[in-house]
Amino acid sequence: MAKRLGSTLFVSRLSSFTSKEKLRQMFSPFGDVTEARLVIDPNTQRPKGFGFVTYKSEVEAQKAIKVMDGRMVDGRLLFVEVAHPEDTSSL
Domain membership of residue 65 as a residue range: 13-33+56-72
Q: Decide if 68 is inside a domain.
A: yes
pTM of the model: 0.86
pLDDT tens column, 35-88: 999 999 999 999 999 999 999 999 999 999 999 999 999 999 999 999 987 655
User: Do 46 and 18 contact (CB within 8 A), yes or no?
Assistant: no
Q: What is the pLDDT of residue 16?
A: 87
4 vs 35, more confident: 35
Q: Decide if 22 is inside a domain.
A: yes
Q: What is the pLDDT of residue 5?
A: 56
Q: Decide if 43 is inside a domain.
A: no
**pLDDT tops 60 at residue 3:** no
- Measured over the CA atoms of residue 37, residue 40, residue 45 and residue 48, the dihedral's sign is negative
Nearest to 7 by CA among 85, 82, 80, 72: 82
Q: Decide if 23 is inside a domain.
A: yes
φ, ψ of residue 15 in degrees (nearest 5): -65, 145
**What's the structural domain count of the chain?**
1
User: Do 69 and 81 contact (CB within 8 A), yes or no?
Assistant: yes
Q: Decide if 2 is inside a domain.
A: no
Q: Decide if 89 is inside a domain.
A: no
3-class secondary-structure state, position 12: strand
